[in-house]
Structures are given as structure tokens and as C-alpha cells.
Amino acid sequence: MALIVMKFGGSSVGDAERMKRVAGRIAARQEEGHSCVVVVSAMGDTTDDLIDLSKQLYDGQPPAREMDMLLSTGEQVSIALLSMAIQNLGKQAVSFTGWQAGMMTEAVHGKARITDIQPSRVLQAVEEGKIVIVAGFQGMTEDGQITTLGRGGSDTTAVALAAAINADLCEIYTDVDGVYSTDPRVVKVARKLKEISYDEMLELAHLGAAVLHPRAVEYAKHNQVPLVVRSSFTNHEGTYVKEEAVMEQGVVVRGIAFDKNVSRISILGVPEKVGQLAKVFNALAAEQIDVDIIVQSGVTSGLADFSFSVSSNDCDKAMTVIDRLKPEMGYREAIPEGNLVKVSVVGAGMVSNPGVAAKMFDSISSLGVSINMVSTSEIKVSCVIEGSRLNDVVQALHTAYGLDTQEQAFVGGPSERR
């Protein structure tokens, strides 16, 4: 009837009993008449355990190539065990590593991007009536080096593979049952969406909603792959991610996202010269450090100040880069700042409705919270604030934009990201 890619994250296959439950679900899908290709992550905390083990054996940052070799083994355990569990149910199944499935990547260890997929072995196995189990999160370079895709890599594997084999649907099974108006742990009245557009989901994924990884949504949008996010623990209907989602009447903001992993770096007293910003951001890009919001103040006495936000995980690395540039740039000082969060409101209806940003600023300031940085696009407004007031701010915004009472709202709560 249909060719379906099914992705299961680490908590979904966290132990033998969960593995059996997943196997039963996959077998049932095939019994409905569908052809199934399954992408899985490493079991439970396997990846974290492997990272901890590497730290016991290597002082400092372990070699990136060897870390990819190590971490890719977690998914190999999952695919072999899941294949066994499915075969135990009387079904034909075969497991493939990422490179056996034809996943080709760029030569960047730790967060490689997929450059090509050669899925002939996968399609042949499907033609033979087998359930195909593919290791997520991994691939291979042209010269045969094993790579990993970084955070959210299994989501990306699943969507990219679905596009390559022209699948009719890509189902992302996880530990939440869909996409919500915000994290239900923060706002108890947060509601699940039936549908969401690629553009809205992409903004939310970039802004901290952990249900889907941004690269996976980018692949889905570019290749028009229909997605559904659903729970691996229930049979509840999930949230469909598609080109255009049904808009609720009167809804301007459809959800609240937040990112706790935010730091700000301020570079003060920068002499006004052509190319100063280019030096900083080219150097950061060369070290694979993503920069988010950038703010530059006016020039006073020939000196300027500017700030930018980065992932807290990259802050120390970014400061090393900035310190290295001081003799060349001649700035006075660089100051890192942590304990920050980014809160964002998202909705396609914002394009034609003025006043969205003003309402956000009013809601935050009414709580006595200062706004440190602001970023906008056609369908989102983001504010960087002090981290201790996050829950209060999210709850206030959820109420201010009428999401408490909407039958359908939107954005993601917590979820696994492999």
C-alpha cells in the first residue's frame, strides 16, 4: 500500500522490552500491507556512556575520528537487536549500517552533513519483502571514513532516506505524542497540534523545540517529505508536518519555543575599521561555531561594541577564537555571559498582523525581566533574557497570545534528539 520510513529514538529502544514493543509495532505496520524501512538510534544512554568511557582514557578532547568510530557502534547494537526481535516474530528483516545503506557525508567528524544517498541495497531488500533496519546518525566519506551527523542525526537520516527512496510517509516515533504549543512541563494547558507547516516547524526547531532537528525539517521541506511526529508508547494520533497547515481563525502566534543553551559574547572597544566583523565571524565559522543573534552598537570616539549569541557548549571555544584575534583587531576586552535563555514566539499569521513584537515586549517587561537581545523574522520574534525567569515568561506569553484557550496551538516539548 505505501512505502513508510519509521524512525525510533533512543528511549523508544532503551531496553529489551521496549525493543520488543517496537518490533511488534513495525510488524503490525507491515501486516497492514505497507513496506517498512526503519531508522533507529542507539539504545537509551549508550552514547553518553561511550562518551564518558572515552574521557576516562583520553585527557582533553578525544580525537574526532576515533570518537566517530566509537559512537557509531551504539546504533549498530540497536539495528542488530531490533532485526533479531522482528525475525523472532516470523518476519524477514535485515540490518544495515549507515554506510551499507548508502549514506555518504562530507569529511567533518562529529557533525557531518549528508552529501548523497545511494539506497540500492535498501530498495533491493524492500523488493524482497524484508523490513529494512538502518542505523541512524552515521555515514561514510568518499574515502571510507566513518562519520557521525551530530545532534538530531537519526531524524536527519530518516528524512533524507525517505526522500531518497521516494517514501510516501516518514513517521518520527519519540517519547512525546506530537508537537505542542509549548513544553507541557512548563505550561500545563499546552495543547497538541494536528498539523504544522514546514516553515513554522523549522523556526521552532531552530529556536529550541526538541521534537525534530532543524536539518531533518529542512530535508523534509526541500523534498516535500510528509512527516508525522507520534509517540512510540501510545497509539494516539500525532502531529503532521506538511507544506501548508490549517490555520485556526484568529490565531497569530501558534507557539512558544525556548532554548536554555545560550551564551552571549560581547566584544568591547573595537576600533572602527573595515572588515572587523568579517574577521570575527569568518574565524568562528572556520571552527564550525554557529552564531545566532548579532547586535552592534553605535560608534563612539572611533570605537564600537558588538555582541553575539552562541550555544553555551561552544562558548569556551568561541572565546579562544576571539582571544586569538585580539592583537589583530585591537579591541579592549571580550566578555562571555552565561545563564541566559532565548524565548521565541512563532506563527505564520504574524506576517500580516502588526503588534506581535510589542505584545511580547510588554509581557516580558511586565514581569520585571530585562531583554538583552532581540531577533525577528517574518514568522518569529526572539528575545534573550536572564535564565531564572524562563518559566514565568513562557507562561505569560502563552496566555498573552491566547494559546491557553485554543483548541489547536503548537510547538514542541522535550524529546530525544538522536
Q: For the chain, what is the mean pLDDT?
A: 91
* Distance set, CA 386 to CA 115, 251, 295, 308, 364 (Å): 39, 28, 17, 15, 11
Strand order in the sheet with 255-271: 291-296, 303-311, 255-271, 333-346, 380-386, 371-377
Contact 13, 41 (CB under 8 A): yes
Structural domain count, the chain: 2
Distances (CA, A) of 233 to 24, 184, 196, 238, 349: 12, 17, 22, 12, 33
Q: Could you tell me which of 260, 297, 266, 280 has the C-alpha nearest to residue 384?
A: 260
Alpha-carbon distances, residue 212 vs 42, 153, 183, 202, 234 (angstroms): 17, 10, 14, 9, 19
C-alpha cell at 51: 562518551
Q: Would you say residue 324 lies in a domain?
A: yes
9 with 144, same domain: the answer is yes
Instruction: Classify residue 132: in a domain, yes or no.
Output: yes
CB 184 within 8 A of CB 413: yes
Q: Are residues 170 and 294 in the same domain?
A: no
Place of cell 566509537: 70
- Let me know if 277 is exposed, middle or buried by CB neighbors in 10 A (0-12, 13-18, 19+): middle
Whether residue 169 is found in the same domain as residue 299: no
Q: Do 265 and 371 belong to one domain?
A: yes
Q: Are residues 160 and 274 in the same domain?
A: no
* Residue 226 within a domain: no
Co-location of 396 and 280 in the same domain: yes
In the predicted structure, residue 417 carries a pLDDT above the cut 70: no
The CB-side HSE value for 403 (13 A sphere, CA atoms) comes to 32
Do 270 and 132 share a domain, yes or no?
Answer: no
Q: Which of 117, 149, 174 lies at the terminal end of a domain, its last residue?
A: 174
Q: Is residue 384 part of a domain?
A: yes
Provide DSSP, 257-323: EEEEEEEEEEEEEEE--TTHHHHHHHHHHHTT--EEEEEE---BTTEEEEEEEEEGGGHHHHHHHHH
Residue at 276 is within a domain: yes
Q: Which of 174, 197, 230 is the last residue of a domain?
A: 174
- 144 shares its domain with 28: yes
What residues contact residue 278 under an 8 Å CB cut-off, 6+ apart?
Answer: none
pLDDT tier for residue 319 given thresholds of 50, 70 and 90 = very high
Nine cell digits for residue 36: 517498512
Comparing 231 with 101, which gets the higher pLDDT? 101
CA-closest candidate to residue 64, choices 112, 133, 1:
112
For residue 248, name the pLDDT band (cuts at 50, 70, 90): low
DSSP state of 180: B
Q: Looking at the structure, do residues 260 and 371 belong to the same domain, yes or no? A: yes
- Residues of the domain holding 159: 3-174
The CATH number given to whatever domain includes residue 91 is: 3.40.1160.10
Whether 253 has a pLDDT exceeding 90, the answer reads no
Q: Evaluate whether residue 31 is within a structural domain.
A: yes
- Over residues 124-182, the pLDDT tens digits come to 999 999 999 999 999 999 999 999 998 789 999 999 999 999 999 999 998 888 988 88
Say how far apart CA 212 and CA 199 lie, in whole Å. 13
Q: What is the rounded distance in angstroms from the CA atom of residue 146 to the CA atom of residue 166?
A: 26
Tell which residue, 97, 206, 186, 180, has the closest CA to residue 146.
Answer: 97
Residue 291 and residue 149 share a domain: no
Exposed/middle/buried for residue 34 (C-beta within 10 Å: 0-12, 13-18, 19+) = middle
Q: pLDDT per residue over 8-58, tens digit each?
A: 999 999 999 999 999 999 999 999 999 999 999 999 999 999 999 999 999
Q: What is the mean pLDDT of residues 369-375?
A: 94
pLDDT grade, residue 246 (50/70/90)?
low
Residue 70 maps to a domain: yes
- Give the pLDDT of residue 269: 95
Which residue in 139, 168, 176, 172 sits closest to 155, CA to CA? 172
Query: CATH number for the domain including 277?
Result: 3.30.2130.10
- Would 186 be classed as within a structural domain? no
Match 519519540 to its residue by C-alpha cell. 174
- Written as nine digits, the cell of 215 is 536539518
Q: Looking at 134, 159, 174, which one is the last position of a domain?
A: 174
Q: CB–CB of 234/276 below 8 Å? A: no
Residue 144 neighbours by CB under 8 Å, 6+ apart: none
Same domain, 146 and 262: no
Do 39 and 169 fall within a single domain?
A: yes
